[in-house]
Structure 1
Amino acid sequence: MSAREADGPVVLGDVAALHVAKGRRLPMQGREEIEVEAGAGIVGDRYHGSRHRHVTVQSRTSLDEAAAAFGAEVASDLTRRNITIASGEVPRTPGVHVRIGDDVLLEVVRVAAPCKLLDDTLGRGAQEALRRRAGTVFRVLAGGTVRVGDPVVLVEPAGDGSGS
């Protein structure tokens, strides 16, 4: 169902966890809130200022599915994604927009492929278990503060309202 088909906004879930890493291969650090900058990403994260990989978002539901396939828990921080929503499915179609909290607007860039380093971090087979469950890469269209507990809502891109 798209937001256009619904009577109100399509709520994807709430922010369950926030993680950043200051550099490549450094451990992810949990946060209660993060600052997100339009056109740049999460302030203090290793990808801040990159061209398109501003923020990564995953779903606890998908991580639980991966855990069932893997045979062990998949912790949110070990997947190296920035934002984990409590439930539901993260959009994967390029161009789809998601609002987090009151201010932050994200646009889907692509599916986030699981890295082969997951087998080293979580154990052999983790990369395969996370295939098609590893979340989505977004670019930041509008910045602001994201907090644990903020709603994550699917929104229509501007100018994409009526004509179909």
Structure 2
Amino acid sequence: MTADPHVAAVHRDAAHRFSKVTVDVVRLLEGLGVEGDAHAGVTVQHLSRIRADPTQPNLRQVHLIAVELLDELRENGFDVLPGALGENVTTSGVALLGLPTGALLHLGPDAVVEVTGLRNPCVQIDRFRPGLLKEVVHTDAAGVVVRRAGVMGVVRAGGEIRPGDPVAVVLPAAPFRPLERV
């Protein structure tokens, strides 16, 4: 984490579209996700996962991306604004990808999101911006797949969050479990 971890922007969309609409405030609902968002629900809401098994628990209620990734993508020639990659919360100053499974993100005065894993982006990201998939998913020199398209989580405590709200991270008890795709 860097100095002054905070919420940079918040987003939602009632329809299943790739990008989300930036708004002034979102309300997180405990056990469900972002009020008014197509991905809110107790069971899976992603269309491909519904087809596979609609009874699966929804471990992807909230999608978070660090603004630092968006800045890096912009430096590499991809104009990607907050919300464009489908995240609900854009953070600043939080090393999201380095968190362990089960880390708690306190967002604003009341909301708490438990990190469940890594977003596994699909070909839709290349439809949005050709070549972007290889920027956010690649294989390192050791042959390990590296996913950088943000983290997913479930809402443990509801509340409203706005840009500028503080973010506090509470780590789970050791030993830490590394994030895997969800």
Q: TM-score under structure 2 normalisation?
A: 0.74
Tell me the equivalent position of 2:179. none
Tell me the distance in 1 between the aligned counterparts of 2:14 and 2:103: 28
Tell me the distance in 2 between the aligned counterparts of 1:55 and 1:29: 14
Residue 82, structure 1, aligned to residue 88, structure 2 = yes
Tell me the distance in 2 between the aligned counterparts of 1:64 and 1:114: 18
Residue 73, structure 1, aligned to residue 79, structure 2 = yes
Runs (4+) off by over 6 Å? none
Tell me the distance in 1 between the aligned counterparts of 2:123 and 2:32: 26
- On the 8 A contact 1:61/1:89 being kept in 2, the answer is no
- On the 8 A contact 1:11/1:152 being kept in 2, the answer is no
Q: Percent identity, aligned pairs only?
A: 30
* 1:94 shift after superposition: 1.1
Residue 52, structure 1, aligned to residue 44, structure 2 = no
Residue 35, structure 1, aligned to residue 27, structure 2 = yes
Tell me the distance in 2 between the aligned counterparts of 1:79 and 1:134: 8
Tell me the distance in 1 between the aligned counterparts of 2:150 and 2:38: 18
Tell me the equivalent position of 2:51. none
Tell me the distance in 1 between the aligned counterparts of 2:122 and 2:109: 32
Residue 134, structure 1, aligned to residue 149, structure 2 = yes
| Pairing partner for 1:62 from 69, 73, 83 | 69
* 1:12 shift after superposition: 6.6
1:12-67 Cα deviation digits (max 9, x unpaired): 72111111111212752111101111100011001111422110111011122233
3-state DSSP of counterpart to 1:24: coil
- The runs of 5 or more residues in structure 1 that have no matched partner are 2-9
For 2:93, the aligned partner's letter is S
Tell me the distance in 1 between the aligned counterparts of 2:4 and 2:62: 17
Residue 144, structure 1, aligned to residue 136, structure 2 = no
- On the 8 A contact 1:14/1:85 being kept in 2, the answer is yes
For 1:133, the aligned partner's letter is R
- On the 8 A contact 1:36/1:43 being kept in 2, the answer is yes
Tell me the distance in 2 between the aligned counterparts of 1:115 and 1:147: 28
- The runs of 5 or more residues in structure 2 that have no matched partner are 44-57, 138-146, 175-182
Count of residue pairs the alignment pairs up: 149
**Compared CA separation, residues 27 and 72, structure 1 to 2 (3 A):** closer
| Pairing partner for 2:105 from 77, 98, 110 | 98
